[in-house]
């Protein structure tokens, strides 16, 4: 399922008691979505990496009390009477079978030995699939049957919506919209260290910001997203709308030249969408460009402007565009 659907599903599943397991390839945002769901619900997250545990870690260590041995639970588990939250079992299927076996009682019965998970705490797990060439152990049927299983698939549209409000470089955003199939490229071999994922495109955006431009980062990008996607991004940056063209559109949107090639159009639309609400000149240019761009690009720009700056719904240019194209923005 897409990231937007997964978010919607998890928002509802945290209202019931059954644990959920989010499957998906590395770098597609499984952990980030769980944290965003928790933040939206006002719940703290305890991130427990199962792959770092020994089988005995969950039960704790024994001590003598009143002539009897009692178990002291580990400090990383939620304390008794703690406010409701989410216990996030990340990389659970990267844990060896004995550690998985130690999880059985915690996931199903919400307890381990003498420890009991406080009321109101929900369990969500996440892990990579065997076909993703990640380090995994087969999830035992006994543990698997204790979860509601959900699979997250990379989706360029959902990622673009996220990127718009998370500071992703407009060139990177425009490129993924132009070449959505490169958002995630499955590694060809276990030994391949750099490949394209939503996470690595965010890393590429940060590297470009640190270096100052795509060209300045040209020898770094292959080590982030892989040789092929990096070469295409560099070529896209060279041919896409330049800052000179973008500045011309900001200062004189009524008479500026409108690109005709798809890559240049995506770069132009992504820059204005990313910068919506940053100045009155930018918002004015957007309102004019909505009437000059090809309709399919105007729709993307209008939606981007609304996501970045909800007050844009009152913009006269936006209202005029909606009147001329009813139903397209929904």
DSSP secondary structure string, 172-208?
A: HHHHHHHSGGGS----SSTT------HHHHHHHHHHH
Are residues 58 and 99 both part of a single domain?
yes
Task: Give a yes or no: residue 200 inside a domain.
Answer: yes
Same domain? 177 vs 285 = yes
How many folded domains does the chain comprise? 2
| Domain finish residue from 116, 151, 186 | 151
Residue 329 lies in a domain: no
Same domain for 215 and 121: no
For residue 304, what pLDDT is reported? Answer: 92
Same domain, 130 and 221: no
Q: What's the CA gap between 289 and 29, in Å, rounded?
A: 33
**Does 133 share its domain with 174?**
no
Interior/surface letters 64-80, b for 16+ CB within 10 angstroms, e for the rest: eeeeeeeeebbeebbee
As a whole number of Å, the end-to-end CA separation of the chain is 21
Three-state DSSP class for 215?
helix
For residue 287, what pLDDT is reported? 93
Global pTM value: 0.82
pLDDT value, residue 328: 64
| pLDDT tens, residue by residue, 158-186 | 999 999 999 999 999 999 999 999 999 98
Inside any domain, residue 172: yes
Taking the C-alpha atoms of residue 206 and residue 318, their distance in angstroms, rounded to an integer, is: 32
Distance CA 116, CA 78 (A): 9
Give me the pLDDT at residue 143, please: 85
> Looking at residue 256, what is its pLDDT?
93
Q: What is the pLDDT of residue 326?
A: 72
pLDDT at position 330 is: 52
**How does pLDDT run across 52-67, given as a tens digit for each residue?**
888 778 777 778 887 7
Domain boundary among 90, 116, 151: 151
Residue 206 forms part of a structural domain: yes
pLDDT, position 189:
62
At residue 138, the pLDDT reads: 83
Residue 300 lies in a domain: yes
Residues 106 and 226 occupy one common structural domain: no
Same domain, 134 and 217: no
- Does 330 reside within a domain? no
Cα–Cα nearest to 177, from 266, 258, 103: 266
- Residue 78 sits in the same domain as residue 204: no
Which residues does the chain have with pLDDT short of 70?
189-191, 327-330
Question: Could you tell me if 165 and 130 lie in one domain?
Answer: no
Measured in whole angstroms, how far is the alpha carbon of residue 259 from the centre of its chain?
Answer: 31
CATH (domain of 49):
3.40.50.300
Same domain, 278 and 142: no
The residue range of the domain holding 57 is 3-151
């Amino acid at each position: 399922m897409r990231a937007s659907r997964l978010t919607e599903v998890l928002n509802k599943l945290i209202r019931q008691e059954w644990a959920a397991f989010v499957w998906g390839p590395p770098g597609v945002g499984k952990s980030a979505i769980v944290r965003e769901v928790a933040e939206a619900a006002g719940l703290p997250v305890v991130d427990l990496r199962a792959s770092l545990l020994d089988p005995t870690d969950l039960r704790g260590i024994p001590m003598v009390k009143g002539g009897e041995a009692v178990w002291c639970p580990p400090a990383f588990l939620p304390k008794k009477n703690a406010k409701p939250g989410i216990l996030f079992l990340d990389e659970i299927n990267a844990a060896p079978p004995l550690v998985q076996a130690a999880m059985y009682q915690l996931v199903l019965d919400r307890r381990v030995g003498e420890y009991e998970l406080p009321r109101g705490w929900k369990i969500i797990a996440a892990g990579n699939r065997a076909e993703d060439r990640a380090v995994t152990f087969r999830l035992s049927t006994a543990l698997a049957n204790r979860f509601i299983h959900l699979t997250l698939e990379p989706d360029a549209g959902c990622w673009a919506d996220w990127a718009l409000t998370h500071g992703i470089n407009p060139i990177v955003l425009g490129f993924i919209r132009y070449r959505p199939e490169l958002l995630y490229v499955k590694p060809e071999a276990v030994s391949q260290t750099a490949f394209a994922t939503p996470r690595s495109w965010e890393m590429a955006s940060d590297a470009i910001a640190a270096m100052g431009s795509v060209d300045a980062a040209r020898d770094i990008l292959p080590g982030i997203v892989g040789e092929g996607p990096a070469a295409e991004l560099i070529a896209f940056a060279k041919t896409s709308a330049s800052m000179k063209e973008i500045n011309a559109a900001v200062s004189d949107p009524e008479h500026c030249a409108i690109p005709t090639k798809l890559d240049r159009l995506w770069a132009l639309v992504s820059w204005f969408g990313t910068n919506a609400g940053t100045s009155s000149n930018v918002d004015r240019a957007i309102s004019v460009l909505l009437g000059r761009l090809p309709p399919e690009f105007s729709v993307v720009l209008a939606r981007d402007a609304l996501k970045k700056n909800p007050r844009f719904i009152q913009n006269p240019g936006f209202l005029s565009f909606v009147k001329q194209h009813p139903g397209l923005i929904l």
